[in-house]
A and B are shown apart, each in its own frame.
Chain A
Amino acid sequence: MRYTAKKIGTLLLTMVLVSVFVFLAFSLLSGDAATRLLGTEATPERLAALREELGLDKPLIVRYADWLAALLRGDMGISYQYRLPVAQLVSERLRPTLTLTAMAFALIVLLSIPIGVVTAKYAGGWLDRVVTVVGQLLMSVPPFFTGILFTYLFGLVLRLFVPGSFPAAEAGGLRFLGYLFFPALAIALPRVAMTVRLLRGCILDEAQKDYVRTSMARGRSRGDILYRHVLKNTLVPLVTFLALTVAELAAGGVIIEQVFSIPGLGRLLISAISNRDAPVVQAVVTLVAFWVVLCNLAGDLLGRRIDPRLRGGEGGDE
């Protein structure tokens, strides 16, 4: 319990740090929302008036304090660019991104676990070799290149989807999922390969290790070690890796959203950055960061639940 509490404490600390980073980073970019909004029509008076209206005339620290206070009340602010509540903008964009992440994750889990176990079982066989070679190849193709290839192959040649025309909200859920399938596959493929590689490695690793070391050191029966430990010990890195994967999927979706022009969080972030729409950038970055640390925490806690040994190790620090 104490460990969990400590972890949550550090999580909050990380979040605060991230939000400070965003504020600092954003203030370093040249040009602010007022110059972006008024463009070449700007006059000093209109600029000053707009800055005052947006609160950009206040010092950075005051702006941060205001933002944090509002956030704690559950208010993410108003977008400079669209004059709409950030919460509304973000929630609209959350759906494609979450669906894309979920689809990609589902693909990863469903493809990699069976393939990983099978290749470990027949390690050294032809299947293992083919999978390993294909895996290496998949890991080498950047998702956005895969995306471009998919756009060409499935979009332009086979016409399985119309690239660039993301279905409107009122279109059916199935079409929505259909459009997201290829982007999801594009980001899932290299991660499938990584997961398979990890799983295969862990299983082989553990199977070899157990005979020489663990059994001698702990003096337990072999059957127990073989079945319980091999499985359990591969589960820990797997769960941690998958948790990390989910975290990275959220961040890694940015470019794939750009390639397939999916109106998700990533594209919102990119356009908000170039529009100097600070409230939106802060909200999205904080949200993504929260997601990342949450996934890491989940992986951590799950790992400890599965393998009690980790508890002892970490406890020794305190």
Chain B
Amino acid sequence: MKTRNYFLTFGCVITALMIAFILLGYFWTPCDPMKMDGSVRESAPTLAHLMGTDKFGRDILSRVMKGAGATFFVAFGTVLIGTAVGTLVGALTGYFGGWLDEVLMRFNDALTAFPGFLLALVLVSVLGPGRRHLLLALGIVFIPSYARIVRTEFERARSQNYVKSAQLMGASTARILFVHILPNIWPVLLSAITIGFNNAVLAEAAMSYLGIGVSPDEASLGYMLSDSQAYLATTPWYALGAGLVIVLLILGVGLIGEGLQRKDL
């Protein structure tokens, strides 16, 4: 099929563009994202302000660039924590089973059934506000979903022949887990990572939309979206700017995930 290449190509192009956008924002923005200017409040897009300005006359494009970077940072970190810890927990519980599995899975169930934003709110309130803490909080919230996926795969792998033969050959457990099984479940994990990344972007945006763990000062996509709602009738482009960046971030990675999966077929 021709389509499958397009997915990967488009995904990579969009993601590359987004990363370039974020990297650019890290070093340079068209305006100072914090600079307030009373003379251009809530202005429509102009040459000086390509996405217009917000209620304090701050340049939306510059803030979106910074905000995208923050979102990416949180999402990336969340996936990193979620995957690392989740894989470890999932691998151990899935492979060994038994009471440890039972306990961890009950714990997982409870975490899954628990509203994520309450957990994040509590964690942020205990750890203190700030992006790093939000990252940590979301990372913890994301562990169960990875653990569950990895556990299922390891449980399945346990009874398969290549694992049994490795056991017979006397390979160490660590070796079986991470050298024999892990590469085999890599495709599943990879798609879980792409989906997880997108969920993390969504979660970060949702948290900052609800105002959890963000400072109104720093640019944040979710906070900008919630801020923009009050100005929807007069300045709809405010919402569009921030929203579009979230969409593109998710779309790029989503397409990559889709492309990779289709290749496997």
Contacts and interface: CB of A to CB of B under 8 A. Distances in A.
Direct contact of A and B (CB under 8 A): yes
Interface of A: 10, 13-14, 17-18, 21-22, 25-26, 28-30, 124, 128-129, 132, 136-137, 139-142, 144-145, 148-149, 151-152, 156, 197, 201, 204-205, 208, 251, 254-255, 258-259, 269-270, 273, 281, 285, 288-290, 292-293, 296, 317
B106 A269 contact: no
Which of A21, A22, A285 gathers the greatest number of chain B CB atoms within 10 Å? A21
Contacts of A28: 122, 125-126
Contacts of B228: 148
A14 B243 contact: no
Contacts of B110: 14, 17-18, 21, 289
Nearest to B98: A317
Nearest to A26: B122
A140 B251 contact: yes
Contacts of A255: 206, 209-210
A21 B239 contact: no
Interface string B209-252: 11000000000000001001100110010010001001110110
A29 B187 CA distance: 40
B205 interface: yes
Query: Is chain B's interface secondary structure helix, strand, loop, or mixed overall?
Result: helix
B112 interface: yes
A151 B236 CA distance: 11
Given A25-B119, A156-B232, 6 more contacts: A14-B110, A129-B3, A140-B250, A204-B265, A251-B116, A285-B115
Contact of A140 (B111, B247, B265): B247
B106 to A, nearest CB: 5
A151 B233 CA distance: 10
B109 A288 contact: no
17 contacts: A13-B106, A18-B110, A29-B121, A124-B3, A137-B251, A140-B247, A141-B247, A142-B202, A142-B206, A144-B225, A145-B246, A151-B229, A156-B232, A269-B118, A281-B118, A289-B110, A289-B114
